[in-house]
Structure 1
């Protein structure tokens, strides 16, 4: 008899995320920060009068100065940032998380691993119609957090209707500008999506849209189809035909276009998480300017 092995947490890996603009903070880290100092990446030369630090005198630059002044190296400050996941745990997220492997849990754990390994702090707010204090994680650099998140989220498929709990929990985010990944299927009224992203105006927001190809693509041309609202539990029997199928697909296409317009108006395009989490595709998204 062969025993099935329990799923393992995703392997730690680095992600090329960054904060748009310059970070603010005094704790040394990997991100470009406001101001200059005596450590970090080389920024420019300054006169000794402007930056009176004899340890940073550059003799070559000083000898080449036609005015004979002493030149001092100035370096770009580097600081750490806070990386947060804002996770939708409403009932409609169940389809995007079906199967043995939970792509949302893998995504969140991978982001947590990358933040902790990169000396940043990671935090998470997870909620649906009501806040979930048991899943809230304040910004931390604790190494065990990624695996804890992965195990906890695999047991939490989500329930209820709406994301009122997320809107109520936004006060738990730090006031300092942070990188916030908003993970949701975004099956929300347009005004709710606008309100959610608008409330995050002081942060860098990276949307992650969770989708299922089973729901959006595999519709028969003709036949009876039973639908179920995962948030309310209501079932409905529909006679599917070609015209109705095309109408549903057109509505889905228009919804994606509207979401993309909203995301771009708040700063950046979204990453589509379809069926499974592909860390290489996610890294490409980050490198391409998504974050």
Structure 2
């Protein structure tokens, strides 16, 4: 499934994503769309008065028509869609991304770009933290070499600053027509900000991706001094980790994840957890189960 070796470039993966509901558009593609067309599954027969196209005449159906009318085949419409990545580059997204063999964010974004091109769709990207990152913004396109370009652009872009005000501001640059939007973030922000971010995407099909690190959830020490640093403010703090604090920390992480799940289901789909590295097989399973 994966063609690129570790560290050598973007991973080439065919992702089975789909748009919830029918697409709207006239450009031929693979997604079920509103209306009838020429490139989809057979729907029904109709009168040639409805579709005056002699190329679609079904001789057998016309002969057996008791009213002697000419019957034409009508097919399901299939159209392309736009696929976007909306990437959070606030400071907290830097955690766990430095020093590894591969950047999980770059692997994810380039894999989505590759899958979009392979599916005859267009790929675009918006990225921001507190301020918009116009240098990483990309309008929907199908140009050659796109996955490699996305991989180079996002590798090592660990972000800085606090908040996602810039990301919310950039959402106005998305097209009016319904698109599939992968929102990539650690979502370490107030729930109210999460709701504002997702509610601004109401016209689109939203697929959240939660970037997480096992170091702060499952690999906490049971006892000892632990130095923490807020990646958005730079503030450092030393705490004494003990059993009760560790358990409270883990309970808080589970409760916050459950709260996020409720928001995600209200505004879009179940989220995919990107933990430490990009696992293409796990992502494919998530998409096949209805997550994208």
TM-score normalized by the length of structure 2? 0.94
Structure 1, unaligned runs of 5 or more = none
Partners of 2:212 and 2:271 lie apart in 1 by 12
1:149 aligned residue? 150
Task: Please give the root-mean-square deviation of Cα atoms over the aligned residues, in Å.
Answer: 1.5
The aligned residue for residue 27 of structure 1 is 27
Q: Which residue of 2 aligns with 1:182?
A: 183
| 1:21-41 deviation per Cα after TM superposition (whole angstroms, max 9, x unaligned) | 111111111111111134432
In the alignment, the residues of structure 2 paired with residue 172 and residue 194 of structure 1 have an alpha-carbon distance, to the nearest angstrom, of 19
Partner of 1:219: 220
What is aligned with 1:90? 90
Change (3 A) 1:73 1:21: same
Residues 269-280 of structure 1 correspond to what in structure 2 (within 5 A)? Answer: 269-280=270-281
SS of alignment partner, residue 188 of structure 2: coil
Which residues in structure 2 correspond to 1:117-266 (within 5 Å)?
A: 117-266=118-267
Unaligned runs of 5+ in 2: none
On the 8 A contact 1:96/1:210 being kept in 2, the answer is no
| Contact 1:28–1:79 (Cα < 8 Å) also in 2 | yes
TM-score (norm 1): 0.94
Shift of 1:267: 2.5
Residue pair 1:96, 1:274 contacting (<8 A) in 2 also: no
Q: What is residue 72 of structure 1 aligned with on the other side?
A: 72
Q: State how many pairs are aligned.
A: 287
CA deviation vs aligned residue, 1:41-75 (integer Å, no higher than 9, x gap): 21211122222222211122233434443321001
Aligned to 1:42: 42
Partner Cα separation in structure 1 for residue 131 and residue 94 of structure 2: 17
Partner Cα distance (1:244, 1:165) in 2: 34
Secondary structure, in 3 states, of the residue corresponding to 2:239? strand
In the TM superposition, structure 1's runs of 4+ consecutive aligned residues that sit over 6 Å from their partners are: none
